[in-house]
Amino acid sequence: MPQLFYTGVKGIVHKDGRLLLLSCPDQLGRSYWDIPGGRIEPDEDISATLLRELAEELPGLTSVQQGPLVHAARMARMLNDGNGLMLLFYLVSGDISNKPELSEEHTGYRWVTREQAETVGDDQTYIDEGYRTALLNAFTFIDSQSYATQRTI
């Protein structure tokens, strides 16, 4: 039987030269750095999913602007149901506090610079390397100002 994959979208929130990471527990109870987002529902397009997930996970984020796709990654681990997950990472901006309001899904947050994104993750809170690549790609877009084709969603 062929391998099945869900598709998810992640919104890399950009503010003042930093990117937002959220901490939450994984399926084994370990803490990891996450990027807000989730799976695309059957009746949604990418932008609708991104807006829904950002509203759920960051209730205080307003005036969301969807920027470019900065990375796509197949997650190395399989989900509990045995299916895979392919994630699309978009750069987003909007109005958000430096101390963002979080959903119950997340336990903390951290704003990171490019240098911090290169080294974030330790024995206490790990990060998936696909997420790290997405963060570094996002900084490349920010630095080049090539994300001027944003649209409000």
| CA gap 66, 150 in Å, rounded | 5
Pick the CATH number of 5-148 from 1.10.10.10, 3.40.50.1820, 3.90.1530.10, 3.90.79.10: 3.90.79.10
pLDDT digits over 139-152, tens only? Answer: 999 988 755 555 55
pLDDT digits over 82-106, tens only? Answer: 788 899 999 999 999 999 989 999 9
Q: Which of 137, 152, 149 is nearest to 68 (CA)?
A: 149
pLDDT digits over 43-55, tens only? Answer: 999 999 999 999 9
What Cα–Cα distance (Å) separates residue 17 from each residue in 14, 48, 112, 115, 142? 7, 26, 9, 11, 8
pTM of the entire structure?
0.89
Query: To the nearest whole number, what is the mean pLDDT of the chain?
Result: 89
